[in-house]
Amino acid sequence: MTEVVDTIFEHFRSGGAGAYLGEPVTLREHMLQTAYAAEQDGAPADLVAAALLHDFGHLIHAGPEDAAEHGVDTEHEDVGYAFLATHFPASVIDPVRLHVAAKRYLCAVDPAYVDVLSPASRLSLELQGGPMDAGEVAEFEAEPHFEAACRLRRYDDIAKDPEVVTPPLEHYLPYLEAVVRA
């Protein structure tokens, strides 16, 4: 196993058992469910890896679990991006970096999208700046991986189901090893 992947797995084992921001699943379950949704959708390895890692910032950045309710955006996507950026290609880290912006983007371009958001996700939307304006939409669409970020976002949004049973973390090892930089 690549050293960085080993480190990532250690973070999953030690840091992922807490509740996920007011959702009925743990952070680890949420990230596994996001990867599972990507895999079920036939996403390529880099997008499955991005799905698994998208909230990695929460694992390494121990903000209060209910930060959104206290009016604090812990900016977890930037924390995750900074760690992952040295080890993974843009096709993995850009969707991670953009997954919160993708929510603001989808709220702006798809009126039905807001209905799929959980109450906690709607609350954090306001902290994250609300739906994008036209200028922000154009800027977002200029990002090379914005479509992958939107796909990741939709996997993220459905990955909060306490009834779903996913494969174990180890199942995703080949996806990470396929895209990690040696």
Between 53 and 133, whose beta carbon lies closer to Fe ion?
53
Q: Does 157 bind Fe ion (CB under 5 A)?
A: no
Question: DSSP string of 123-150?
Answer: HHHHHTTSS--HHHHHHHHTSTTHHHHH
Q: Does 156 bind Fe ion (CB under 5 A)?
A: yes
Mapped onto helix, strand or coil, the DSSP state of residue 117 is coil
3-state helix, strand, coil in the chain (%, to 5): 65, 5, 30
| Contact range with Fe ion by CB under 5 A, out of 10-18, 36-44, 49-57, 129-137 | 49-57
User: Quick one: which of 55, 77, 94, 157 contacts Fe ion (CB under 5 A)?
Assistant: 55
| Contact range with Fe ion by CB under 5 A, out of 4-12, 54-62, 112-120, 168-176 | 54-62
- The minimum distance between CB 139 and Fe ion, in angstroms, equals 22
Letter for the amino acid at 41? D
Structure tokens at 70: 């206290």
| Contact range with Fe ion by CB under 5 A, out of 55-63, 83-91, 161-169, 171-179 | 55-63
Q: Does 77 bind Fe ion (CB under 5 A)?
A: no
Q: 20 has which bridge partners?
A: 23
Between 90 and 158, whose beta carbon lies closer to Fe ion?
158
| DSSP-H helix ranges across 41-89 | 45-53, 56-60, 76-84
Pairwise CA distance, residues 55 & 60, whole Å: 9
| Contact range with Fe ion by CB under 5 A, out of 51-59, 82-90, 130-138, 169-177 | 51-59
β-bridge pairing 19-20 and 23-26: antiparallel
Q: Does 46 bind Fe ion (CB under 5 A)?
A: no
Between 3 and 126, whose beta carbon lies closer to Fe ion?
126
Size of the site for Fe ion (CB under 5 A): 2
